[in-house]
Amino acid sequence: MSEDQEAQEDELLALASIYDEEEFHRAKSAQGGEIQLCLELPPSFKLIVDGNKQTEYDISFLPPLVLNFELPADYPSSSSPVYTLSSKWLSRDQMTSLCKRLDGLWEENQGCVVLFTWIQFLKEEAFAFLDVKSPLEVVKGGNAPVEWKRSEAGVKRAGSLTGEKDKLEPLLELDPRAVLVVDPRTDILPQLLDFDEAQRQKVFDAKAFCCGICFMEKLGSGCLCFKECQHVYCKTCMTEYFQIQIRDGNVQCLNCPEPKCTSLATPSQVKLLVGEELFARYDRLLLQSSLDLMADVVYCPRQSCCQAVMVEPDTTMGICPACQYAFCTLCKRGYHGLSHCKVTADELRGLRDEYISASAEGKKFMEQRFGKRVIQRAVEESFSRDWLNENCKGCPRCGTNIQKVDGCNKMTCTSCKQYFCWLCLGQLTRVNPYSHFNNPSSPCFNHMGKLPVPAR
């Protein structure tokens, strides 16, 4: 084996020992391979989406630079590696600059293996070399990176994926080894955010966390992290918690168990932990609860239907799209046009309290809905009922309301003429009604002339 072949083999074996299979893939048919290089981002690195209103995204990872290389037979003694450099988020003028720098590093180290030097430069120094700074600007909606000429001070526009046409001129000579792997017709932002999310999850899965419920330490791959608050619990505890809440119908309460924390689990997180049957129930109840909060959505009052019905503004008529039932959206009975909603006896009892506690606007609405006379009758009857409850007692035989003004506690019903005791409401014999007050075993013994007790 020649010295060049031996140096190449040693270099490829060294790369395979340093980087895992996802980062470095050695070619089978030639002396070469592919290495993916994730650049180290500065802390608190952000993406800015340009538009009518700028939106910022915190990111920790960007898609890797991909270095494909093949080693000539006379490398490293004479020739440099043959390579291409590709990226999803750098422009070709930026990658052209990187290619020129890689060539410069080869010239500085000619005669020695150079792949590891290239890799270290790309991973650790590329950001500074290109002057890439936070925030990185992207244009939403199908604008791919555009190539622009480097300024006199160097590559100063690298903080943007779009460039500034009024300040920079297109680069005329681009290095053919610089390859763009993005479709100009696609939106690059989702690709960047998806990659960042996937890498964050990969890092999370490898860490160990202590569950705040069972207090057992588990790897992130066996845990659930709430997106908003970043609180972490094991999947076993959260699965049981979600299942109980969904069975009870509390689909709006799948929040973080941390006290006073309001972060909610996302539907994708719920789907990951519960079975298909429970998730279908969760999905259905979540939709229903969302519809319940919409002012222009009501449900068909027919028990056999219950279809959601969209209601036009400023109208009280709803027409079910399923069964074609036309109904009043206020009282849920058949549509009655401009006539007032009918009130049952049971509803009339609670109408007064609702009317008295309502605001001026609420009282006006109730008067329009039920009619002023109905509201007035409800108030009068309710006040009468309260007065009777406070000042009268019902006859134990026929139930007629009796008021005691004065006299003894032996009462006579004005309706059925039954004698009864005002204190205990016991029925008295017609032969000797006073024996009830003279009998020592009676609860009202010697109380015939006492003042009446409050009505029950």
pLDDT bracket for residue 403 (50, 70, 90): confident
Q: What is the number of alpha carbons within 13 Å of residue 434 lying toward its C-beta?
A: 4
> Could you tell me which residue, 78 or 29, shows the higher pLDDT?
78
Catalytic residue IDs: 408
Beta bridge partners of 36: 66
Query: Is 54 within 8 Å of 40 (Cβ atoms)?
Result: no
Cα 172 from Cα 363, distance rounded (Å): 76
Identify the pLDDT of residue 211: 93
Identify the pLDDT of residue 156: 38
Identify the pLDDT of residue 348: 62
Tell me: pLDDT of 38 over 90.
no
Instruction: State which fold the 208-292 domain adopts.
Output: Herpes Virus-1 (3.30.40)
Cα 144 from Cα 176, distance rounded (Å): 18
Cα 414 from Cα 419, distance rounded (Å): 10
Tell me: pLDDT of 153 over 60.
no
Query: Is 149 within 8 Å of 168 (Cβ atoms)?
Result: yes
User: pTM score > 0.95 for this model?
Assistant: no
Asked whether the CA dihedral 242, 247, 248, 253 is positive or negative, the reply is positive
Residues of the chain with CATH 3.10.110.10: 3-193
Tell me: pLDDT of 89 over 70.
yes
Tell me: pLDDT of 144 over 50.
no
Residues of the chain with CATH 3.30.40.10: 208-292
Average pLDDT over residues 101-130: 92
Q: CB burial class (10 A; 0-12, 13-18, 19+) of residue 91?
A: buried
Least confident piece of the model among 113-117, 210-214, 388-392: 388-392
The domain 3-193 having CATH identifier 3.20.20.70: the answer here is no
What secondary structure does DSSP assign to 14-25, as a single string? Answer: HHHHHS-TTTEE
Identify the pLDDT of residue 157: 38
- Beta-strand pair 178-180/82-87: parallel
Asked whether the CA dihedral 188, 202, 39, 45 is positive or negative, the reply is positive
Identify the pLDDT of residue 308: 83
Average pLDDT, the chain: 81
Identify the pLDDT of residue 219: 94
* 190 prior amide bond cis, ω within 30: no
Tell me: pLDDT of 406 over 50.
yes
